[in-house]
Structure formats: structure tokens, C-alpha cells
Structure 1
């Protein structure tokens, strides 16, 4: 994980299959004398992310004479860590001659960093920045196998493809991709006659992966470039389709800073709408098959999008719930006290904020007279959860099923492999903090923190990262401090570090300009406000008040602190799946259960574009890896299998019926105060939205009248 990129020059990209409205005549390929983004720009953007290593490799493509009967031997030059190593792109020169040069495409590839063998027609330049968190051996990207295939990968494999405890995801995936059959049929099985028994195609293999990913893979035997991102878009991948201004095809995890480009006029029409170089690549698997026969003296690459082949994944993408309209049997589910005793819960709050914490309620009130449920004729004894000495089977109540799925999701994302622990011991074994939580003290982050405590060895501390633009008065700072007290109650032996990150928007001019490049292609004030808050939180530079953060006798006092945790748990996806937004209540009031379901479905279908790409870029810029337990495939499946009326009950007040299922999960975890907290978005809870409105519009009222959140950023108001 960290970042990947690709620059393709000298190839005419045919988008007709991907974009039917695209003009039929292919754009001319021209030399780009002053590109908007150069090799050095993209390299610098990826290096900012703090990778363990960075590499680049070039593939030069030559047109092979059709009347030549002599096959050439191809030598590749690789440059690793500043030293030049001469290697063959295939295992043996005889294999190069016999197998690596295809007989159909008429294209020959040469992999090199610093030499050209003959006259090149096109150039493929790959970038790989690696932040390695898995595997005992260091992995350097781009990876090249013995057949000339090349991979840059930004992701994790949590299931679908086996990755041993000592193995690295990228290395395992490279090996699996190398065994995929190759053809020029673009995945059209009806027209494909070159499949091999027992082998996967590239789309079939990628469809198996559980976990977030983005990749670029050059399959040398078929002269096909594969690229894409996972079905929910949990890893960023931006695309630039060739234009008259820049005929190159580019992919990148992040945009380099626009402000550094002197050839761009940032004041053009006073806003960012003209700076549309990048697009978010829609989720999916794509290929570009290079063919020399379609144009004279120029390679043509035909772009196609491929279907996911995994039926279970396709069901998750469609996001159809098993039961939308409630049935009589659904109304008889036993409920936890958080739903039925709201007055008692709110008695501990003043104006929606936690007052002096009271823990008079006891989990013993939770119904426990429900029999153990067999699954596949086996009693799931390991699935029976125990809280406060009360055993409850995970398959009894919907909330318990969600709790178990979430706990397994967190466990997958924080398992410390040998490489990870070795790195920890080398740095600071007695104080190493491996995992942090983006922490507001609200419902979602409290659940993640409590589950992290259950899954992570007690010898490790846990960082809770909280950002405020209004000091101790911001709602998120107040709830975070109250939340730590509740976490200390349920996990008194854990050492919690509430990292209080204080910021002043007026002091962040250069930082704001940088975050604008991170959120690109997003351009609104809301995106910028969220991006700045996430970027600062992920940076982890703040203060720890030992009197607030732990119950240990270490004295009090506020001291500077820098979170070194590389893994950051984020609550994205909870609101979309559990009806946490205000508009969900409106849709339910106007359209009933079906209207609510359709709105939630729309949220899940666009979360890749509205949220996840932006959030991944802002967090990753600090050398951190965002992980999203609520968007685990098994968690999504579990929530879809539960009747919608059990997920949310929007006839109830805010803080009660919204995200009802998660409030019950919080109750099961012993988080009785957090179970009643209302939803607050980070831009409001941290109060960056208020400060941004005052700075750019004069007041909150003026900003609201202008619908500031959805407005495109005006450069002149922001930076002059």
C-alpha cells in the first residue's frame, strides 16, 4: 500500500466501447512538450506519502516487422535503489525467443529504465510506492515476474486469495496473476477460444479479492494493460483520458499539487471548475489491449470494462436487501434497552452532549433467554459473546450478528504480521502504537475503538485521533473526552491516548492549498473542509492530556505527542448502510421503507465518488493506511440480510431510530452513553465548517444562504 501510477505515451486510446458517445475518430497522438504533470511531479506526490520504498520501470513498445522471420532476443535493464542491475525480462533467453514475443499483436515490449533497444513506438512508465505492512521479506514495486509481466498494487487481501502470515499481498497476487490465461478477446467468453482449463482470467481472479485495492498490471503475453479498483472504491485511483491538450493516458493514486505548475492559471474564471485534468476512475476492472493492426505506424489501445465474475460480490454491488418492507415476524424481534429506554439514556446528556457520566444501567437487562442457533449443523460456540459475564449467542439477535461481523472485520484489519512487529521493535518497542482510530467520540468511532480493544493485544496502546478547530469547545472534542472515560470503564487495563489535534484555519494557507490537490477532482468547500480535517487528524500531531487519556497513576498534564500508528481505522460506510443521514429520514417520510432503501442504495453506489477516494488520498498523504471495517464485504452482507426495520426505525427521534442496529451493537459492547449520541459529520463536529464559512462568506448565515457546502471553491477568495 501507498500509491501507484502509470503514464502511457504514444498510444491512441479507443474509448468507443467504454464511452459510446465518444467521437469515433481517434485523437491524434502528439508529443507533449510541456505536460501538465511530469514524471517528477507524480514521483514527488507519491513520495510525500512516506513509503518504505519507491520504484519506477519503463516498458518500451516497438512495432515488429511483419515480413521478418527472425525473432530478436530482448534484454531488460532494471534500476533498483540507484544501482544498475542487468536482468532478463524472462527466465531464459530461449524462452524470450519462443514465448515472450506474441505472434498475433505485432508488438514487441522492451523493459528498461535507461536504454532504448531500437526505435520505440510507445512508452509505458510505471510507478510504485510501497508502505509495507505485511510479509517478512521487503517487497519493491513495480514487481516484474519471469515472463515480463509487471504489477503495481495498492491494497490489502483479507480473503478470497490465501495470503500466509509471512507473505506479502502484492507478491502473492503477482504470482496468481502470472498464472492467469491470456488472450486478446477482452474477456468476451462467447468470442474466446483460448481459455485454458483450470486457469482464471484476470477479471475472475480480481473478483475473488476481499478487501480494498487498486492496481495496474501489464500482461506481456497478450500485450494488455489491466487496471481498476475494488467494487466499493476503498482505494483511490484517478484517470486522465487523452485529450487534445494532453494525449497521454494517465493513472495515479493522487494528483500532484496544481499550485506548483507555473503553466496553469489558477485564477482562470475564479474557480477550479476548469482544472478537470483528473477523474475518479469508476469502480471496476478495465483493460487496454494494444493492437498494431488498426493504425499505420501507431499503436491503438482499445479500452473495455469487464464484469465482476463473483456472484456473491455482484449481489453486494447491486445492494438489494432481503427484507425492505417489515413483516409481522420482524416486529417480534427482542430489542435491547437502548431502543426501549431512551429517556434513561438521555438523562445523562445536556443539550445533546454528555454530562457527568452515569453507569447505573447494567447489561443484565439484555434478554438472554434465546436459544443457541446452529449454523450448517454446527453450534458456533466461538460466536457466543460474553459481556459483563452474560453469554449471548451471535445468531440470536440481529445486533449480535452485526457485532460478530464487525469484530471479525476489525480483527482482519489489525492482525500484526511478523514484518509489522519486527518494524515496531526496531523503532520503539516499549511505546509502539500500531493502530489508531479516527475518533470523534461518536457512535461509529466508539464501536471501532471498543472492538479494537478486544482484538488487539493489551500490551499495545491505542491512539484516538481527534481534531478541533475550536479548542475544547468543539462538539467532537467534548464527546471524545467523554468517550475516553467510557472506554476506560469497559477496558480499564488498556492505555488509551486521546490525541487532541488543535488547528486554526487562518494559519493553514499552504496546507489548505496542498489539501486541495489531495481532494482533486473534488472541488467543493465541503470536500475541502472534510479533507483538511482528515488530513490533520491522520497526521497525528497533537497533545495528550494524561489526566484524560488513562487511569494509570502517571500524573496529569498536557504534553506534545505524535501518533506513529500506520493503520488508521475509519468509520466510513456506517451512515450509508444504517440510515445515519438526515436526508434518510426525509426520504422515509416521503417514500416509506422503499424510498429509504432506494436512498441508501444510491449512497452505497456513489460512495466511491463522493467519499472514499477523497478520504483515502487525504489520509494516505501522511504515510498512514485507512481501513474501513464497516465496508468489509461480510459486514455489508450481514447488514443486507437483516430487515430494514431492524437496521433503522426512523419513526423514532434522532439519536434513537437512526442507525438503530449500531446503537444496539454499542449497548452490547457496554457503550451505553455512546449508544444515544446523535450523528455529527466531522466538518461540523470539529467546527471547521463554521470557521470556513466565516473566512470565505463572512458568516454562517451568508454561507447557508449561498449553499456553501456544495459550491465550487473560488481560488480568489481562498488564497488572495
Structure 2
């Protein structure tokens, strides 16, 4: 992973770094930092490239990477398939060499569309004076743009300035790849983007997406990038027969086991385990070579962990592919609760009569004194830890309790997180952005033999379960849509969810997690996983006529049961902002979609 930056001016100009932006970029890539300036002679333009590398694959490769004929690449991505990358190779080098052999736009598009994995990039093609840039199909890597005073800036992360127009920074829409003809732009004194869209993108949205002062136009050749995933199955059940065998069930592991025993369910569950397990293998084994000889007491993989079904399944499947002697860090974040008055008044009596130790390995209310960090995700996290320990007692599972006070939240939001979430600005962005930032930092406590000790996760890779709810109808709004519009409405809702995940979630999440010099990886958004889930009719993925804790993400719950999970397989969905209790910390009645004044720094 990297922090990448490019500034295009249509005439050579003096450049001064925004120190905040530079520091944000450098934190994303602590392994190497370097700048490179390219100046066109005829016509006259200037491109300043800056790259800050987090070394993840093969030999450390400095960026910006300039090839032997003068092309320049800044690449923030991971190749998990499509282009062959040997274990000793660096994927930036592979992409650069592949692009070097391209002489036409169609060949460049062929290279980019073949990559399976997340990417954001900027590429200067010296022959023809072109500047290419864009994000992958799902937008799993952040790229922002701004056009101001004739200068176009592209960057992984920006910075807020409350005194300036906050609408200037925007996320580059993950609708395709963009190309600027530098000759034409210099002659006209105006920047025009040629858009090469993904085949499934909406052209009207693309052409309206250019920053103020620039123009977007579809490429004249009519070229598109083929979609890396198959289309969503839009089938509607002919009758209720397809799901009637699953009706009238209670939310219990027994019911899930009964469903699992059906022949069709067996096949779909087995297939999902296969594709998801392979997605995990790619993501937990693509790591720096020199780390293999590092201290085996330190985990190389961490997981955002609530004990819910998504994180539990990722933990179980990751366990298959990580060497048995290496620990796995389970990052569990909690924001401090206010102690109930009743609890305060009777605290001394409770201690006198019960006199029980504070057992940090159980979630039972009767065996624990009150802790202000016993939020719902902490309780289910401990229960999930116990399930994982039962499944593999030989593995060292580091359950990292990350406890955040209101004072620290306010401080870090102002100093760092507000800049990273920007240009998104809602209450929801604030809640999730802050929770992710503290969780990914991985600084907290672990418990050994009932003794707590400080702990900080050193893992460079952070696995996250985003994408499961969007594809398998995990949100409460999916139930509402199903109730009002049936399967047809539910399918439309799921299509919208995946279509907007780049602008709603992934750019923000990449900026926030990457701020710690760590790389977010998204197994549920692996192209093969998405294609498999897209191919299934909606009633095989979810049955929202069933109760909460069973019907939503039904296929995933059956998968959890097959993998040996029980309690976590029937937990209802609980959003991170509620499970961690950050949503309660500000003590306000604001809506998730409201603009959040707390995100303004300064």
C-alpha cells in the first residue's frame, strides 16, 4: 500500500507542500518516500509525483517508479490475481512492465481490467503526453481530486482547512479510468478528462463527476473496461415454494442445522466456503518476505473483530492459511460508557458480598463487576474469542481490548481523523471513521491468565468484513425494503448497495486504516466472492421472512454453522457505531445523515 500524489500544472511552477497532506501521505507509507517532477518541453506542463510506500510484496520498490523510456507510475494497490506476480516480485514493478508494453488505450485498459485486487494509480505515459488515473471497480483504494487556480491535484488523502471551501476536495468516482491529453490541455489552457468507464457504469453520472473548472467527456473510441464480476442475478421466485421450507423457524442454531442438511444448501455452503477461503488465502499470504524471519510472537495479520458473524467467519478461514505458530490479533474497540447511577451507589456492596475477580475472558454479567467498556461488541467479542479458542486451542488469539475515552476521541478527531474522513462529512462518517481509526491502531490490552497487560498490534494487514451486509441483505433497511417491495425491491436495494460502496465506505475506510501504516484488505469484496454471490438468486442468500438472527445473511449463517460456529452464527446485525457505543458518546439526537460539525478541524 502507498500514499500517492500527483499535481498537474499547465506551466512550470514553484511547488510548496501542504505539510499536513505530506504527513498524512508519509504515515500511509513509512517504508520509502520520494518525489519526482516531469516537465514537458513542447508543450510546456509540469507533473509533480510523490509516493510513500508501505512495503508489502517482494523486494522494496521505490516509487514514483520511472521506466527506461520515461513513463512514471505511482501505484497504490495489490494484485491478488489476473496478472501473474511471483512471491519474490513486487506488484508495482509488474504493473509498470505491463504498461510499458502498451501503445494504445485499449491495451492499457486490458492491463488494468485484468488486475484482481484493490488499486488506485496515476500513470504518466510519455509517448503522447498522457496522464492516466483511476480506482478499481469497487473503489477499495482512496483517490481524491481538486482543481484550483488551474492546478489539478490527485492524492490518496487530503487535509481540511476550515477557512477554505470544503467542497473543493472530492473522491474520484470509481466509475472507470481517466485520461488527460496534456498537449491539448496546455494548448487550450483547460483540463478535459477522457473517461473510459467500467461497462456497467452510468454515463450520466460519469460526465457530471468532474471537479469544478474541468470537463469530462466519454472517450471517442467508445472503449470500456469489462466488469471484473458477473452481473447480479435478478431472478424473482415464481412462488413462495422456494423458501417455504425455511419459514416459521426460530432464531436458533438448531434451525440453521436443519436448513444446512438440505441438499441444495449443502452445495451452496460448500461453494461459498471454497471461494471465501481462497480469498482469505490470497490476503493473508501476500506479505513482505523479510517478515517471515521476524519474531513469531508478533502477528502479521489483524482482524477488525466484534464477535459477529462476518468477523468470526473471517477468523476461522484465516486460521486455515496462517502458520500455526503465528498469533492472530483480534482488534476489538469500545468507547467508554457512563456508569449507571444504580451501579455507582451499590458498587461497594457488590464488592463486599460477591468479592469476585474481574474475569476478562467471559461475557456473563453475573461474573463481572461493571466496566465502562463493556459495550455490546466487547461482550460478543469475548464470546467469539471463546468459540475460536474451542475450535483451535493451539492458536494464540490476541484479543486486543481497545478502550477509548471521550477525551482521547475528541483529541484525535481534531488532530487526525477529521482530515482522513474528509471530504465525507456526515455523523455516520464521523462515527465509523473514528471507530475504525482507533481499532486499526491496535493499541490496548490483552489478558494472559487473568492478568491484563498493554499491547500494540504490529500487524501490517488489517482484515475487515465490509461487503457481507451489502451483498447478503444484512441491514435493517433490507428488511424494510423486502416488506414493502418484496424480492424485486430487495434486489434493487442490493444492487444499489454494491454500486455505492466506493463513495459511501471504501475510500474513507482506506484513508482511516492506512493512516497507521497498515493495509486494509476486504475478503468479502474479492472479485471471485462477489461473482459467486452475484450469480445466486436472492432467496438463496437471504430469507427475510425469517426472524432476525437467521433470515438476513442466511447463507453466511449456514456457512458459519458448517465451520463449527454456534452462538455467533445467530447474532443479529449490529452496526459498528452502535456495537462500540461511539454513537452514544456524544449524547445527541442527530441523524446519521446529518452533517457533523465535530469533523471540522481547527
- Is 2:269 the counterpart of 1:399? yes
Shift in Å, 1:155: 0.5
Look up the match of 1:9.
9
Larger Rg: 1
Q: 1:639 to 1:327 in 2, by over 3 A?
A: farther
What secondary structure is seen at the aligned counterpart in 2 of 1:282?
coil
Partners of 2:145 and 2:118 in 1: how far apart? 18
- Is 2:146 the counterpart of 1:280? no
Deviation string for 1:110-139 (max 9, x for gaps)?
xxxxxxxxxxx321000111111111x220
Deviation string for 1:3-47 (max 9, x for gaps)?
111111126xxxxxxxxxxxxxxxxxx979xx9x83544322211
Q: 1:588 to 1:292 in 2, by over 3 A?
A: closer
31, 36, 45: which one aligns with 1:52: 31
Look up the match of 1:580.
474
Q: Is the 8 A contact 1:316 1:636 kept in 2?
A: no
Shift in Å, 1:165: 1.4
Deviation string for 1:445-500 (max 9, x for gaps)?
00101111112111110000000013442000000000000111111111100000
Deviation string for 1:654-701 (max 9, x for gaps)?
111011111111111111111100101111000000002x1xx3xxxx
Look up the match of 2:406.
505
Look up the match of 1:657.
551
Q: 1:365 to 1:490 in 2, by over 3 A?
A: farther
What secondary structure is seen at the aligned counterpart in 2 of 1:170?
helix
Shift in Å, 1:416: 4.5
Partners of 1:313 and 1:646 in 2: how far apart? 30
Q: Is the 8 A contact 1:326 1:644 kept in 2?
A: no
Partners of 1:207 and 1:215 in 2: how far apart? 13
309, 315, 318: which one aligns with 1:443: 309
What secondary structure is seen at the aligned counterpart in 2 of 1:406?
helix
Q: TM-score, normalised by structure 1?
A: 0.71
Taking the TM superposition and a 5 Å limit, the aligned residue runs for 1:607-646 are 607-646=501-540
Look up the match of 2:129.
223
Shift in Å, 1:265: 2.4
480, 490, 496: which one aligns with 2:391: 490
Q: Is the 8 A contact 1:207 1:309 kept in 2?
A: no
Shift in Å, 1:160: 1.1
- Is 2:423 the counterpart of 1:521? yes
Partners of 2:373 and 2:129 in 1: how far apart? 58
What secondary structure is seen at the aligned counterpart in 1 of 2:127?
helix
Taking the TM superposition and a 5 Å limit, the aligned residue runs for 1:99-118 are 107=43
- Is 2:142 the counterpart of 1:252? no
Q: 1:303 to 1:459 in 2, by over 3 A?
A: same
Taking the TM superposition and a 5 Å limit, the aligned residue runs for 1:340-355 are 342=250, 344-345=252-253
Deviation string for 1:617-652 (max 9, x for gaps)?
000001110000000111011111111111111111
330, 334, 337: which one aligns with 1:464: 330
- Is 2:117 the counterpart of 1:211? yes
What secondary structure is seen at the aligned counterpart in 2 of 1:201?
helix
157, 163, 181: which one aligns with 1:265: 163
What secondary structure is seen at the aligned counterpart in 2 of 1:222?
coil
Shift in Å, 1:323: 2.7
Look up the match of 2:281.
411
Q: Is the 8 A contact 2:257 2:558 kept in 1?
A: no
Partners of 2:260 and 2:110 in 1: how far apart? 45
Shift in Å, 1:316: 5.8
What secondary structure is seen at the aligned counterpart in 1 of 2:235?
coil
Look up the match of 2:443.
541
Taking the TM superposition and a 5 Å limit, the aligned residue runs for 1:94-493 are 107=43, 121-135=44-58, 137-182=59-104, 187=105, 201-240=107-146, 242-243=147-148, 246-256=149-159, 258=160, 264-265=162-163, 274-283=165-174, 284-291=176-183, 295=187, 301-308=191-198, 314=226, 319-321=231-233, 323-325=235-237, 330-331=242-243, 342=250, 344-345=252-253, 366-367=260-261, 396-417=266-287, 420-425=288-293, 428-470=294-336, 471-493=372-394
Q: Is the 8 A contact 2:169 2:423 kept in 1?
A: yes
Moved over 4 A (4+): 298-301, 309-319, 326-332, 361-366, 717-720
Partners of 1:54 and 1:497 in 2: how far apart? 32
Q: Is the 8 A contact 1:127 1:142 kept in 2?
A: yes
Q: 1:171 to 1:316 in 2, by over 3 A?
A: closer
Q: 1:398 to 1:438 in 2, by over 3 A?
A: same
Q: 1:164 to 1:424 in 2, by over 3 A?
A: closer
Partners of 1:340 and 1:127 in 2: how far apart? 59
531, 534, 541: which one aligns with 2:433: 531
Look up the match of 2:40.
61
Look up the match of 2:349.
none
Shift in Å, 1:309: 6.8
Q: 1:458 to 1:516 in 2, by over 3 A?
A: same
Q: Is the 8 A contact 2:185 2:191 kept in 1?
A: no
Q: 1:159 to 1:416 in 2, by over 3 A?
A: closer
The number of aligned residues is 543
Partners of 1:664 and 1:562 in 2: how far apart? 34
Shift in Å, 1:396: 4.8
Partners of 2:286 and 2:486 in 1: how far apart? 45
Shift in Å, 1:277: 2.1
- Is 2:580 the counterpart of 1:668? no
Look up the match of 2:340.
none
Shift in Å, 1:415: 1.0
Q: Is the 8 A contact 1:3 1:128 kept in 2?
A: yes
What secondary structure is seen at the aligned counterpart in 1 of 2:584?
helix
Q: Is the 8 A contact 2:333 2:439 kept in 1?
A: yes
Unaligned runs of 5+ in 1: 12-29, 64-106, 108-120, 188-199, 267-273, 347-360, 371-394, 547-554, 698-702
Deviation string for 1:253-294 (max 9, x for gaps)?
0113x3xx5xx528xxxxxxx411210111121100122597
Q: Is the 8 A contact 1:291 1:301 kept in 2?
A: no
Partners of 2:470 and 2:407 in 1: how far apart? 32
Partners of 2:238 and 2:387 in 1: how far apart? 34
What secondary structure is seen at the aligned counterpart in 1 of 2:508?
helix
Name the Cα RMSD after superposition: 2.8
Partners of 2:596 and 2:520 in 1: how far apart? 26
